[in-house]
Chain A
Amino acid sequence: MKGLAPLFLGIFGTFAFSWVGLTVIPNWQIGNLNPQSDEEGTDIYPMPQSGMVVRGARVYAANGCIYCHSQQVRADYAGDDIERKWGDRRSAPRDYIFERPVFLGKARMGQDIANIGARAPVEGENVAAGSAASPAASPAPQAGAPAPSVAPSGVSPTPPPPNAASPAPPASSTTSPPAGSPAASPAASPGSPPPRAPGAPAPKPPLASPPPSAIANATPGAATSALSGTPAAGAPWPIQTSGEPPMYSAAWQHVHLYSPRSINPDSNMPSYRFLYQTRRISDARSADALKLTGSDAPPEGWEIVPTFDANCLVAYLMSLNQSHPLKEVRSAAPAAPAQSPAAPPASPAPAK
């Protein structure tokens, strides 16, 4: 080849072609999506995150959760994600418009967690009904959305797990230990998942909260049994085993992060103990102390509490929720939406 000019031009030209084609044009196409809302301009989805959730996303990035967990649900003709109950509709570009960085992920050494927050038990209703005395179960379910959705305040959307002093669990199929066993006590973080300060009462308890010690001694049984209301599809999430906080609740997330194999012996996840703090119990056990058993349990007189980063991370996890319907994606029904930019033209007719 002679002469530099054609070489230079070719090198620039090929690359410019790819750059325009794969980044600039898509940016025109889906780079300026807005949240959707209904006619009155309410029921806006998605909503920007703030506060602890944003910080939690940074913790998520810093500790490389993305290398094992994806956050994308494929359509039912493209994979079995929906059948695995990872979501009840496919993910669409609009789901991610406020996310930065976006954690689509490329590996599933762990489960897809695009909807991990939606999987958290919504025990607001039934527990509130069952136990009026519960200090923390009372915040009304968030207005509008049946499933807890993103809370702009940055506080985790999920109503706090119940630490009902008076159990009366509605659907008690639990095998949990008897109520009130003090050793196995604190339904961890009985306040909202990210309590402002360890030991502080739940953010907005309308009733006078009992002192943290009372919370700590509340029965875990009620918490466990309150699982009933999974959002949306009412998916049959794995049955909860003994004595643990309800699956996918904030308290559960903390125990799982601290000691994954205490929850699932086959788990391959590293533990994130460095996000937790072991400290001596000063006068009363902290409300958000982790409820651990067996070899993970701290020695007598000590407790394990989440650091602020751990609380943020869990707040972030609890905020992951794509259960809100999108106009361009049909929930549950698989047809490829015409309007959706995400509908693969080459894909076969939904074949399930």
Chain B
Amino acid sequence: MNATGIPLKEPSVSAAAGDAEQLERALIDASTRVPVLMFYTSAIAWLILGTLLAGFVSFKLHMPDLFSDISFLTWGRVRPAHMNVMVYGWASMAGMGTAIWLMARLCRTVLRYPLLLVAGAGFWNLGVLLGMGGILLGDSTGYQWLEFPRYAAIILFVAYTLVASWAVLMFRFRRGEQIYITQWYLLGAFLWFPWLYAAGQLMLFVVPVQGVLQSAVGWWYANNLLFLWFGAIGLGTAYYMIPKVIGRPVYSYHLAAIGFWSYALFSSWTGMQRLVDGPFPAWMVTASIAATILTIIPVATVGLNHHMTMQGYFPLMRYSPTLRFTVFGAMSYTVFSLIGVLISLRSVARYVNFSQASIAYSHLGLYAFFTMVIFGSMYYIVPRLIGREWRYASLIKLHFWASAYGIGLMTLMLLAGGFLQGANIENPSLAFSESTETILPYLRGRSLAGILLTVSHFIFAYHFGLMLLGLGRQSTVPTFLNPVEAEGSEAHV
């Protein structure tokens, strides 16, 4: 790749056909404007709220007396509130926003029934709000990842049904026979989530299973939410954004198919490895460990596919915010999965199973991978909805580096601290409190990382706010992170 042909714009086909296609795309983008922006705006509001809650969680973990007199700010309530706001408020809403836009684009049809989506977003917000309030007021169900009290869960489910039925309807209006890779993942995500959520709710609350099986269902749900909902949306988005931005088809369609089906098959069997050596039939845990190890197959194929697509185009990450975020996320997916394999092995899990390393794992998946990919997609999509370009390249760069360093530091701190903590717990000659003391400096480091992430989220929210207010740049050229001219070329336009 020489610097002269940086195709940072969509590749134009031929002049006339290209114009028609551009027009069609513009129409489709315009039709997604209200619902997608509604999802994005809500998501970013939840992101800010969740970040503030995360600050509480992080600082209170090493300053246990902070606000401990106030019932709704006690650590054990703020933590699930933070987690659920991030999972259902931020990640799910942002992911749905991106997925909606991608569906419309890939079905090559203007968005129909926008009211379904608007109502869905409204109900979803209501559900998250009620759920968060319920948790803070002491109404948590006590099941991890499903802490929302039942009234909130029902509202969420109603909201979701609206969105999913929209997705299925859109599929019926699609044009063209070919179903692109991204659509596989999105369709999967849209169909898996309701089943998953309904199964979790039914087996835990409506017809509760007995005893430890509740934990099994809970972790089955949590891991599948991570993989089949967030993971699928994240991978699907990466499969769209990377080829789109660099203007080059995906390296191998067959590799993508192998990656998709092995992903669906193996990652859905994970979850029990988090309960390693617990009071369960051992075959359940072993099956999940085996499935976790087998996820190396989709990781390798997806990673290889992205890498080969990007081959020769990596320098573009210097310019395109979307590409930079997305590639960071796609690489983190590999790291996330490999760490997942590592900490699921029985010999390692013995030490780290009850340590903070699990938290590192969740953050790698939900943040380093999923959230970064979604940030990337937002940098691509929002200008197309609003008709303005991002105002400040410097803010995007700051956002990226604060996020990247923040999540990197957090992961490092929690992993290193978690391994030491786990080793000390597993050393009965040490008093138990040694293990908590060992991890304290790492928790302080994590709080530092949290500050970085907070900065990055506020920057992003501010920038997004400017866009919403129509204060973006009016330009036909996207905002590049670095002036392209520096490379001595104007040919990209």
Contact = CB atoms under 8 A, between A and B. Distances in A.
Contact of B261 (A14, A21, A270): A14
A248 interface: no
Interface in B361-414: none
A282 interface: no
B71 interface: yes
A74 B436 contact: no
Contact of B177 (A2, A268, A275, A345): A2
Given A62-B138, A101-B142, A268 B436 contact: yes
A67 interface: yes
Contact of B74 (A22, A63, A90, A110): A63
A106 B211 contact: no
For chain A, what secondary structure do more than half of its interface residues adopt (helix, strand, loop), or is it mixed?
Answer: loop
Listed residue (B268, B279, B437) with the most chain A CB atoms within 10 angstroms of its CB? B279
B281 A29 contact: yes
For chain B, what secondary structure do more than half of its interface residues adopt (helix, strand, loop), or is it mixed?
Answer: helix
Given A23-B220, A93-B279, A102 B74 contact: no
A341 interface: yes
Contacts of B74: 63-64, 270, 272, 274
Listed residue (B79, B209, B350, B354) with the most chain A CB atoms within 10 angstroms of its CB? B354
A200 to B, nearest CB: 25
A112 to B, nearest CB: 8
B269 A270 contact: no
Given A4-B179, A64-B140, A79-B426, A23 B76 contact: no
A344 B285 contact: yes
Interface stretch (B2-10, B59-67, B475-483): B59-67
A332 interface: no
Nearest to A12: B191
Contact of A72 (B187, B209, B278): B278
A31 B210 contact: yes
A347 B286 CA distance: 10
Interface stretch (B117-125, B239-247, B427-435): B427-435
B64 A63 contact: no
Nearest to A268: B436
A264 B141 CA distance: 30
A302 interface: no
Interface string B191-206: 1100110010001100
A61 B433 contact: no
Interface string A208-247: 0000000000000000000000000000000000000000
Contact of A104 (B278, B281, B282): B278
A42 B151 CA distance: 41
Nearest to A65: B76
Contacts of B212: 30, 93, 96, 102, 104
Contacts of B77: 62-64
Contacts of B142: 57-58, 60-62, 66, 101, 103
Listed residue (B177, B268, B426) with the most chain A CB atoms within 10 angstroms of its CB? B268
A100 B70 contact: no
Interface string A93-114: 1111111111111111111000
Contacts of B257: 1
A312 interface: no
B277 interface: yes
B279 A70 contact: no
A84 B433 CA distance: 12
A336 B142 CA distance: 31
Contact of A102 (B214, B274, B428): B214
A316 B84 CA distance: 26
A341 B212 CA distance: 12
Interface in A46-85: 57-68, 70, 72, 74-75, 78-80, 83-84
Contact of A83 (B195, B272, B286, B428): B428
Contacts of B199: 19, 23
A273 interface: yes
Nearest to A260: B64
Size range of the chain B interface in the assembly: 35 or more
Contacts of B277: 74-75, 78-79, 344
B24 interface: no
Contact of B355 (A99, A108, A346): A108
Contacts, number: 248
A342 B208 contact: no
B459 interface: no
Nearest to A274: B71
B178 interface: yes
A271 B179 contact: no
Contacts of B213: 23, 26-27, 30-31, 93
A337 to B, nearest CB: 12
Contacts of A84: 425, 428, 432
B214 A1 contact: no
Given A10-B264, A23-B213, A66-B144, A345 B428 contact: no
B435 to A, nearest CB: 8
Interface in B242-295: 257, 261, 264-265, 268-269, 271-272, 274-288
A68 B356 CA distance: 10
B68 interface: yes
B224 interface: yes
Contact of A18 (B80, B144, B224): B224
B131 to A, nearest CB: 14
A3 B178 CA distance: 8
A189 B377 CA distance: 59
A12 to B, nearest CB: 7
Interface in A320-345: 341-345
A269 interface: yes
A91 interface: yes
A98 B209 CA distance: 10
Listed residue (B211, B220, B257, B432) with the most chain A CB atoms within 10 angstroms of its CB? B211
A26 B281 contact: yes
A180 B209 CA distance: 52
A279 to B, nearest CB: 16
Contact of B209 (A31, A342, A345): A31
A266 interface: yes
B170 to A, nearest CB: 12
B185 to A, nearest CB: 10
Given A10-B261, A342-B281, A21 B211 contact: no
A107 B433 CA distance: 14
B358 A107 contact: yes
A93 B210 CA distance: 9
Contacts of B184: 1, 7
Interface of B: 60-62, 64-65, 68-71, 74-77, 79-80, 138-144, 171, 177-179, 184, 187-188, 191-192, 195-196, 199, 203-204, 208-217, 220, 224, 228, 257, 261, 264-265, 268-269, 271-272, 274-288, 346, 350, 353-356, 358-359, 425-428, 432-433, 435-437, 440
Report, nearest first, the 6 A-B pairs whose CB atoms are least far apart: A64-B76, A61-B142, A344-B282, A18-B268, A96-B211, A78-B277
Interface of A: 1-4, 7-8, 10-12, 14-15, 17-19, 21-23, 26-27, 29-33, 57-68, 70, 72, 74-75, 78-80, 83-84, 90-111, 260-261, 264, 266-275, 341-347
Given A93-B281, A96-B211, 18 more contacts: A3-B179, A7-B179, A7-B184, A14-B268, A19-B199, A22-B287, A31-B210, A62-B77, A62-B138, A90-B279, A91-B278, A95-B211, A101-B204, A106-B353, A268-B440, A344-B277, A345-B282, A346-B282
12 contacts: A11-B188, A14-B268, A30-B280, A93-B280, A98-B211, A101-B214, A106-B358, A267-B433, A268-B62, A268-B64, A268-B440, A274-B71
